[in-house]
Amino acid sequence: MTSPSNKTRLTEAAYQCLPGGPLDVDKEFYDKVAATASTEPPLRTVVESFVLPIRSGKAWEMRKGDICRIVAVEGAQVGDLNIWSLHNPRERFWASRTRQLQRAHVSVYDRLWSTLPYLRPLVTITGDSLKDYGVDGSGIDAEGGRVHDLLGTRCDPYVNRMLSGEDKDYHCHSNLTRAILPYGLTEFDVHDVLNVFQCTGLNDKDQYFMKTCPAKKGDYFELMAETDILCALSTCPGGDLSKAMWGEGSSETTNADPTLECCRPLGVEVYRLPDGWLAGLGWKEALPNGPMYKGRHALREVAFTPSASADIAG
């Protein structure tokens, strides 16, 4: 019979590290980075700023140490975010591993990790005006919803065609594809996203649900680049997700596109800190953890001998 202590262990986070390891974030340092948003005189310099129209996408570069703030400039709106290493697009944001290393809905101090064989934090979240969302600031609302979703992925025209029989080219997958074409990337480089401002969860049937986005005008989500990166953002065609995109209720009005009125733009601001400011606090660019692995995968055959007590079906 499982002991109470073992039951507790089995429900703790599966992926953990020793103190001072890559999952043990220096919160004091990132608090100082976040505080640069309000210093006088300003420490941050704006290097890029734009408003992303509804149902569109745009890509932009960030230098290591840059800070990006995504803003709900007119109210509730979901944004689908992709990230790549700027110098090697094979290294890109890995949503599923980030769910394991961090959590399924991310906020301040969480990191977004890259794919194998690189495996490093591409960004660290430094600011989130919705970090206290939910009942009594718990991060979870009465229906089990949480914000900044990693459970789902981007909407796409293929699933839309399958579910609705209609062709629409402004789904997030399409928006992201168009956004990265100027950088020499294609549809095959688009990957699972972070759904910024999106409120989601699992219902009592263990099915994915999407609630109305809780963001209000002025709400923001901020992250710091741990290496040189390329970002792309789509303003989701579902807008604030207050109306169904598929299934029953998705076309319950005479409006041929009932979600259009739910759509709003998003603002993107990229900032740079003074040269040497981050290094003065001991910060260094995140390096890939992959090269530390010294094995050779299946390139080196290892013979396994069954133990004498093994029950081998013949």
Q: What is the pLDDT at residue 22?
A: 85
How far is residue 235's CA from residue 148's CA, in Å, rounded to a whole number? 14
Q: Please answer whether residues 68 and 221 qualify as being in contact, where contact means their C-beta atoms are separated by less than 8 angstroms.
A: no
Question: What distances in angstroms separate CA 10 from CA 3, 14, 73, 206, one per listed residue?
Answer: 11, 8, 43, 20
Residue appearing with tokens 């629409």 = 168
How far is residue 62's CA from residue 47's CA, in Å, rounded to a whole number? 9
Q: Where are the domains of the chain?
A: 27-250+270-281
Rg (CA), the chain: 22
Residue appearing with tokens 């919803």 = 145
Q: Please answer whether residues 224 and 66 qualify as being in contact, where contact means their C-beta atoms are separated by less than 8 angstroms.
A: yes
Provide the whole-model pTM.
0.91
Q: Please answer whether residues 229 and 85 qualify as being in contact, where contact means their C-beta atoms are separated by less than 8 angstroms.
A: yes
Q: What is the pLDDT at residue 310?
A: 54
Q: What is the pLDDT at residue 203?
A: 96
What is the DSSP annotation of 13-25? Answer: -S----TTSTTS-
How far is residue 262's CA from residue 246's CA, in Å, rounded to a whole number? 15
Residue appearing with tokens 């420490």 = 43
How far is residue 250's CA from residue 168's CA, in Å, rounded to a whole number? 14
Q: What is the mean pLDDT of each run of 10 residues along the chain (314 residues)?
A: 66 88 93 97 97 98 98 98 98 98 98 97 98 95 97 95 92 98 98 98 96 98 98 97 72 64 97 97 94 81 66 50
Q: What is the pLDDT at residue 18?
A: 86
